[in-house]
Amino acid sequence: MDTCQSSPILIIGGGPSGLTTALTLAQNGIPTRIIDKAQEFHKASRGSGLHPRTLEFYRFLGVAADARRFGGPLMPMQLTKLPGGIKPVAKWKLFEDIELTPDRPEDMLFLSQYLNEGIFRDHLSKYGIHVELGTEPVAIEQDVTGVTVSLKHAGVDEVEKARFSYVIGADGARGSTRRAIGATFEGETKETDGQVWADVEAEGVPPGEWNVWADNGKFSISMRPKSEPEAFHLGIIGQDFDPVDLSTDPSKFAEFFYEKTGRKDIILKKIGSLSYWKPNMRMVNKLCEGRVFICGDAAHVHSPTGGQGLNTSVGDSFNLAWKLALVHKGLASPDLLTTYQTERLPVIAQMLQLTSNLYMHIVDRQKGGATRSVSTAATTTTKDATGFMKWRNNSLRQLEINYRWSPIVFDARGTNGLDEEALKAHAYSGYPGEPVRAGDRAPDAPGLVDAKGNETSLFEILKPNTHTLLLFSRKQAGGSLQDIMVVASASPIANVMQTVVLGHQSLPDAVAGAGVYHDKEGHAYRAYHVDEGVLSVFIVRPDGYIGAFVDDVDGLQTYFSRIVGGSSS
């Protein structure tokens, strides 16, 4: 395999998708270079909601603790009447609270995107990787052995030509990488709608209040507190209403706020730079061409409803990076990289459809006014009910995303009678309540105790640079366990694989080259629906998805052949 292993991977774009890719590759020991055309790091609030699955990825990457330190929980929203009302007439949460369980331990976290990006840059600096600002590609030319990129540096006349093994475009909806691979960007733009946002400093708003004002069927005003004192993200959101004239003049923006809300008691002390955009709902027809890939907003844009943009972008990056690492190291065929597109496109398409439907609820359209509609929405307990600024679809947490149809997953039990198209139809919504299968998210399991009495959880063991061979075994498993270990140790990916043996009733016997743990509370056995009387083998991919469920060495070898070869056997 000619993998151009001496050349680094170029990442274009220093946003969440590019940074996630860079950190994942760095932890896999892959040389990378990351550039961004911006002259300075942005400090404006953008995507701020981290869903549970994204926080799980952050745990694997070792950045979750920092995210929690700077972020905060989802706070209630409150509606006041227009104009001039001060007393709230309804309170609710954008997303309903969920019960945390041992296998699903993460809740939603609010963290401004610029803080999020700063955390990733700090972690990347530990690997000697820094975002090169003021640098953008002006030409991308690829051949069978690599990619030549012409780079323009701000303030420098001479163009740099550099050679890379692969290029990843995380350069946003207006970036050039999408065009470099010839991808279409089909969908729609809401031409009659518009949104204006600003970071503001304000007095007169009690801490912890996320205020909303709504003009029935026309616009909403959202004022969400940020983590800093007296700091808010203030937005004017329209449907069949375009506040474009407010987007260039802070004084007009403030005048609109006061006129429509009547809240003279709120003092807008400082209004940061205004950002204006029209909602776009678009996605590409392909995610790669040869050695060039795109992810994040370069591949899909959508309304902010449901908070899926940043989270889906991180999912793209985490899916792609471990595959690139294997191929770059020469451990797998380049065919493996085509499964990035195979796995992610159905997820993106279904996410886009859901968020486009939710978009109709960013302003109140109930006859009789916002007060009635929000009050009704705030009291309903229907799981999939959706109302004004109320997102009630559990798929939005992205815990149900799966790849059961993927050509590189293998389940010895088959596909439960579903063909490829039927499986793809559940790519985003998943199979709630069903036992896990190959392609599903790997559940967490706390209460794992080693021979020294140290306690950990499965999510502390999983790493983004390692396949995990997860063996559920009786205390005396006999030759079958040893046979599995022999085949695993002979695998082409043996050097990037760890083995974990779990016992239910007690600590398993020591196994050379494996970590053994007592699943003392049975969380792992329950989450993986394992019969403790038989040997069960799961392989968890570096992105935290189950690559395979097998019960013998033949099944194990089938999975390895799919990963190494990049396609089904």
What CATH number should be reported for the domain holding residue 63?
Answer: 3.50.50.60
**What is the tally of structural domains in the chain?**
3
In this structure, is residue 463 part of a structural domain? yes
Question: Are residue 17 and residue 53 in the same domain, yes or no?
Answer: yes
Q: 6 pLDDT band (50/70/90 cuts)?
A: low
The DSSP output letter for 121 is: H
Question: Are residue 52 and residue 115 in the same domain, yes or no?
Answer: yes
Domain termination residue (choose one: 262, 278, 294): 278
Percent of the chain with pLDDT over 90: 73
* Helix, coil or strand: residue 557: helix
Q: Please check the confidence at residue 310 and state whether its pLDDT lies above 90.
A: yes
Question: Are residue 520 and residue 449 in the same domain, yes or no?
Answer: yes
Q: In angstroms, rounded to a whole number, what is the distance separating the alpha carbons of residues 412 and 380?
A: 42
Q: In angstroms, rounded to a whole number, what is the distance separating the alpha carbons of residues 297 and 294?
A: 9
* Helix, coil or strand: residue 101: strand
Q: Which helix (H) or strand (E) holds 148?
A: strand 146-153
Q: 131 pLDDT band (50/70/90 cuts)?
A: very high
What's residue 474's pLDDT? 61
Q: 376 pLDDT band (50/70/90 cuts)?
A: very low
Q: In angstroms, rounded to a whole number, what is the distance separating the alpha carbons of residues 260 and 29?
A: 54
* Helix, coil or strand: residue 321: helix
Question: Are residue 162 and residue 305 in the same domain, yes or no?
Answer: yes
| CATH label of the domain that carries residue 514 | 3.40.30.10
What's residue 531's pLDDT? 84
pLDDT in tens, 137-176: 999 999 999 999 999 999 999 999 999 999 999 999 999 9
Q: Please check the confidence at residue 564 and state whether its pLDDT lies above 90.
A: yes
What's residue 478's pLDDT? 53
Question: Are residue 17 and residue 130 in the same domain, yes or no?
Answer: yes
Residue 115 belongs to domain spanning = 9-71+109-187+281-358
Domain termination residue (choose one: 227, 243, 278): 278
Domain termination residue (choose one: 222, 243, 278): 278
Of the two residues 113 and 4, the one the predictor is more confident about is 113
In this structure, is residue 400 part of a structural domain? no
Question: Are residue 28 and residue 103 in the same domain, yes or no?
Answer: no
Q: 44 pLDDT band (50/70/90 cuts)?
A: confident
Please compute the mean of the pLDDT values over residues 230-234 and round it to a whole number.
92
Q: What is the DSSP string of 238-301?
A: ESS---GGGSS-HHHHHHHHHHHH--TTSEEEEE---EEE--EEEEES-SEETTEEE-GGGTEE
What's residue 390's pLDDT? 83
Question: Measured between alpha carbons, how far is residue 250 from residues 147, 202, 234, 261, 272 in Å?
Answer: 45, 14, 12, 16, 8
In this structure, is residue 506 part of a structural domain? yes
Q: Please check the confidence at residue 368 and state whether its pLDDT lies above 60.
A: no
| CATH label of the domain that carries residue 262 | 3.30.9.10
Q: 425 pLDDT band (50/70/90 cuts)?
A: very high
Q: Which residues of 324-351 are buried (b: 16+ CB within 10 A; e: fewer)?
A: bbbbbbebbbbbbbbbbbbbbbbbbebb
Least confident of 267-271, 356-360, 476-480: 476-480
Question: Are residue 473 and residue 326 in the same domain, yes or no?
Answer: no
Percent of the chain with pLDDT over 70: 93
Q: In angstroms, rounded to a whole number, what is the distance separating the alpha carbons of residues 524 and 472?
A: 9
Q: 364 pLDDT band (50/70/90 cuts)?
A: low
The DSSP output letter for 541 is: -
What's residue 388's pLDDT? 82
Question: Are residue 116 and residue 34 in the same domain, yes or no?
Answer: yes
Q: Please check the confidence at residue 374 and state whether its pLDDT lies above 50.
A: no
Q: Please check the confidence at residue 5 and state whether its pLDDT lies above 80.
A: no
Cα-Cα-Cα-Cα torsion 461, 9, 298, 114, nearest 10 degrees, comes to 60
The one-letter code for the residue type at 386 is T
In this structure, is residue 386 part of a structural domain? no
In this structure, is residue 526 part of a structural domain? yes
Of the two residues 273 and 38, the one the predictor is more confident about is 38
In this structure, is residue 383 part of a structural domain? no
In this structure, is residue 392 part of a structural domain? no
Q: In angstroms, rounded to a whole number, what is the distance separating the alpha carbons of residues 268 and 273?
A: 14
Please compute the mean of the pLDDT values over residues 361-380 and round it to a whole number.
47
Q: 107 pLDDT band (50/70/90 cuts)?
A: very high
Q: In angstroms, rounded to a whole number, what is the distance separating the alpha carbons of residues 199 and 208?
A: 16
In this structure, is residue 95 part of a structural domain? yes
Question: Are residue 345 and residue 213 in the same domain, yes or no?
Answer: no
Residue 1: count of CB within 10 angstroms of its CB: 11
Question: Are residue 118 and residue 230 in the same domain, yes or no?
Answer: no
pLDDT in tens, 69-84: 999 888 899 998 877 7
Please compute the mean of the pLDDT values over residues 312-328 and round it to a whole number.
97
Give the chain's mean pLDDT: 90
Q: Which two tokens stand for residue 142?
A: 């690829």
Are 182 and 281 spatial neighbours (Cβ–Cβ below 8 Å)?
no
* Termini Cα distance of the chain: 19
Question: Cis link prior to 83 (omega < 30° from 0)?
Answer: yes
Question: Are residue 457 and residue 525 in the same domain, yes or no?
Answer: yes
Q: Please check the confidence at residue 382 and state whether its pLDDT lies above 60.
A: no
Question: Are residue 203 and residue 274 in the same domain, yes or no?
Answer: yes
Residue 163 dihedral angles phi and psi, to the nearest 5°? -110, 135
Q: Which two tokens stand for residue 30?
A: 């892959």
Q: In angstroms, rounded to a whole number, what is the distance separating the alpha carbons of residues 319 and 408?
A: 13
Please compute the mean of the pLDDT values over residues 430-448 and round it to a whole number.
97
Q: Please check the confidence at residue 567 and state whether its pLDDT lies above 50.
A: no
What's residue 227's pLDDT? 81
